[in-house]
Structure 1
Amino acid sequence: MSGPNILLTRIDNRLIHGQVGVTWVNHLGANLVVVANDKVSEDEVQKSLMDMVLPDVIQARYFSLKKTIDVIHKASPRQKIFLVVKDVHDALALKEGGVPIDHINVGNMHYEEGKKQISSTVSVDEKDIEAFKRLDELNVELDLRRVPDEKGQNIMNLL
């Protein structure tokens, strides 16, 4: 049996918003958005707000990291999955947990105190850099781009 049909994994601390819910979903041809994040999986208000952004024909699931690791391999081949995580640490946990991630779109990591800005939409600290290095060691392609038609950059060249 083949693995789940994950079209793309995106790191975006905003999770589902207009750019993700419309632009990326349409570009990828996804019919299911899986948000993997422990806090969001239990936040009904945030889930319903994100659902409002998605077109009616697109389904969304909100799973904890553990549940994502446990159920992703049970996905139907008909499910064209766009996997969205809040940060690089969630992405690394999924990869190390056996989720078949070979390509990550790094879309948005907000600036916070103690982080350095490496692009207009991505800021990192030492823990983030270590997680990106680990993903790189695991042969995950790390492509920084905001929208599909933008030319991507390998984030490892910016760290």
Structure 2
Amino acid sequence: MPILLTRIDNRLIHGQVGMTWVMTLQANLVVVVDDNVAEDPLQQTLMSSVLQTSGAGVRFFSVQKMIDVIHKASDRQKIFIVVPNPEVAWKLVEGGVPIEEINIGNMHFSKGKTQLSKKVYVDENDLDYLHKIRDYGVKLYIQDVPGDNKEFIK
């Protein structure tokens, strides 16, 4: 399967994802999976502009569309999936998207969340989904940028 990596980043596509990760992975397609963004042309335009110089294409799919179409992906595609939170990641895993590992890159602080790392804050709901993903056999780790050490979640 041509999925290179799945990343949880509540910012979705931004400079770090659009350049550093895409270039390091040598991805030729970034798929943002978010039900809201899939219906929001303005957000799509803004995120697409970040990828213009990377050479990668971009698609914006709802969770269900991703589940429905991933098995039709060509072997030529080198796919980098970006999701906003652990719940969406779990829905993809549960829906049969062949994800082997998930990079947790950024989850902003908000009330009720505790710090796991410099840029990752979670609440009980997030932890429940992360544990489901881990228990399903998917490797989970925190890594801000490609050169950083991976902090595996056990």
Q: TM-score, normalised by structure 1?
A: 0.94
Q: Which residue of 2 aligns with 1:50?
A: 47
Alignment check: 8 A CA contact 2:18 2:54 kept: no
Structure 2 alignment gaps of length 5 or more: none
Q: Which residue of 1 aligns with 2:36?
A: 39
| C-alpha distance in structure 2 between counterparts of 1:141 and 1:39, whole Å | 27
- Residue 71 of structure 2, aligned match among 60, 73, 82: 73
Instruction: Report the AA paired with residue 15 of structure 1.
Output: L
Q: Which residue of 2 aligns with 1:135?
A: 133
| C-alpha distance in structure 2 between counterparts of 1:155 and 1:22, whole Å | 26
Q: Secondary structure at the match of 2:5?
A: strand
Superposed, 1:1-159 pairs within 5 Å as 4-54=1-51, 55=53, 57-156=55-154
* CA displacement 1:89-136 (0-9 Å, x = unmatched): 000000000000110000000011111111110000001111111111
Change (3 A) 1:56 1:23: closer
Alignment check: 8 A CA contact 2:19 2:54 kept: no
Instruction: Report the AA paired with residue 45 of structure 2.
Output: S
| C-alpha distance in structure 2 between counterparts of 1:45 and 1:59, whole Å | 17
Instruction: Report the AA paired with residue 97 of structure 2.
Output: V
Structure 1 alignment gaps of length 5 or more: none
Instruction: Report the AA paired with residue 72 of structure 2.
Output: K
RMSD: 0.8
Instruction: Report the AA paired with residue 16 of structure 1.
Output: I
**Count of equivalent residues:** 153
Q: TM-score, normalised by structure 2?
A: 0.97
